[in-house]
Structure 1
């Protein structure tokens, strides 16, 4: 049975998530609706778990014409899902940083999150079956590698140090 108090509590949680989201006007700089929607969805999930978020996209971002937007959305979704899962395990010390920049023919997307491990084994993270999380299949970053292999203009770098994991993707927008 839904009581008025439960209804009010649910509304308060929803309103709190909305208020946090409204403090991120940079999302409006993402012009591709599919790309914007994956960021909105993942930001809402992060806010619903009360995970600290820093999102930056100070300039207008357009998806490259030669890139399948679905591939880009899949990559972002996988990496952010990993960050969300890790953040939920960390609790109060968790945070996720996201930044999108477009400069001189290159779109850069950076995602960073705090992690339980001092340093993640970068040589293994793209291997099928490898996971830092118990009970997981370790296919996410393998899928990212497979998607990226279809393009000669996407470059991905992973770094890990001091309990932080960073994903950086550079997409060359045009031939130079």
Structure 2
């Protein structure tokens, strides 16, 4: 514990943590209000300076925990926040390490504790940190970190930071063995890079396997769609043949002017036509031609067929062509798949269950409407439990342009998923 500190050193600590939190604010997309963010970061900056004075570099773990607790949005682990904290500490570390040898070469030992030296090194740190922020945004790394919903990325970043921190402390305390420490550090860095490469390759393989499975499911659904259309086409041929016979019989009855027989023939024709037309799937699938995204079309083919097989009355509407989606295809498919499954689950036991599916577009908004009828059946299930399966909170963390609303009355449960885009959706 070091309670005696010079003015230049105090300035150095204050500026270092100021740069740290400025970079953190630039790369972390928080859902907190601007006022709360400003207050939170000001409080964290003050606590970080105090802890740094008391515990030196060993305060970093405690500071990281404080940042997480102050900015923690809910009760679930926020891996995105953990990743950004670790990335910010790594930026702080390298922004200090990289310019140090060059600055030490040009500044004599007597000036190290001067205000000038500390201002210059802080300026260099700031420039390097802002450079990192530029490349962070250029390569859209925030999307990458927001999409990591497992601890693996945090473990890798934490491992790299621990190695860097140990390297710094060892070189500071054992200057005699600096070459050996540098060699070990280089080996560990290579090991870290190897781990990252293996991790990246493994993730890509897993994603490829998932996409291959999804493609197989897509082919299966399209085959189901074509089989259904072929079945309807075959029924249409039979209907055409039978319809001609019925018309011929009707003409014969009309020629005989037997009005009783004529009414009977008309009733038979009407009943036969209704029975045929009500059992066709063409009306159910007709708007699928407007869904141009293959993943989305495959999903709706599968779900409409499932609903049809369970004898649930269903309507599907998509009056405008839909090509591009303002979010990751697989994330949207997963959300809609679970939402429609929930609707099927709550209507399959109803005697007259209904499901309404619709896709609407308006300027910069794309909306998916999933409505299902409700019945007063005895059950211990709650719709809230099934809403949790949609992982709405995780999606809202990952995508700032998604809005999910639900409402309920005595007859209907309505789920509206709205996506906002910067450009007009095509």
Which TM-score bucket, shorter chain as reference?
0.7 to 0.9
> Which contiguous aligned blocks of 4+ residues in structure 1 show a shift greater than 4 angstroms?
none
Give, in angstroms, the shift of residue 73 of structure 1.
Answer: 0.3
2:404 aligned residue: 156
**Which of the two has greater helix per residue?**
2
1:82 aligned residue: 342
1:165 aligned residue: 413
**Which structure's CA Rg is the greater one?**
2
**1:105 is the counterpart of 2:364:** yes
CA RMSD of aligned residues (A): 2.5
Where do 1:84-163 residues align within 5 Å?
84-90=344-350, 92-116=351-375, 125=384, 130-131=385-386, 139-141=388-390, 143-163=391-411
Offset from partner CA, 1:59-80 (integer Å, 9 cap, x none): 101232x511001101110110
TM-score (ref. length: structure 1): 0.73
2-side partners of 1:39 and 1:161: how far apart?
26
**Which of the two has greater strand per residue?**
1
1:57 aligned residue: 318
1:67 aligned residue: 327
2:289 aligned residue: 28
Q: Give the total of aligned pairs.
A: 145
1-side partners of 2:376 and 2:389: how far apart?
18
TM-score (ref. length: structure 2): 0.32
SS at match of 1:113: strand
Structure showing greater relative contact order (alpha-carbon pairs closer than 8 Å, 6 or more residues apart): 1
Contiguous gaps of at least 5 residues in structure 2: 1-226, 233-279, 378-382
Give, in angstroms, the shift of residue 162 of structure 1.
Answer: 1.8
1:39 aligned residue: 300
Contact 1:51 1:96 in 2 (8 A): yes
Contact 1:55 1:98 in 2 (8 A): yes
Offset from partner CA, 1:13-63 (integer Å, 9 cap, x none): x859x6443222101111110011111100000000110001110110123
2-side partners of 1:22 and 1:156: how far apart?
30
> Judging changes above 3 Å, is the alpha-carbon distance between structure 1 residues 155 and 15 closer, same or farther for their aligned structure 2 residues?
closer
Give, in angstroms, the shift of residue 139 of structure 1.
Answer: 4.4
Give, in angstroms, the shift of residue 82 of structure 1.
Answer: 0.4
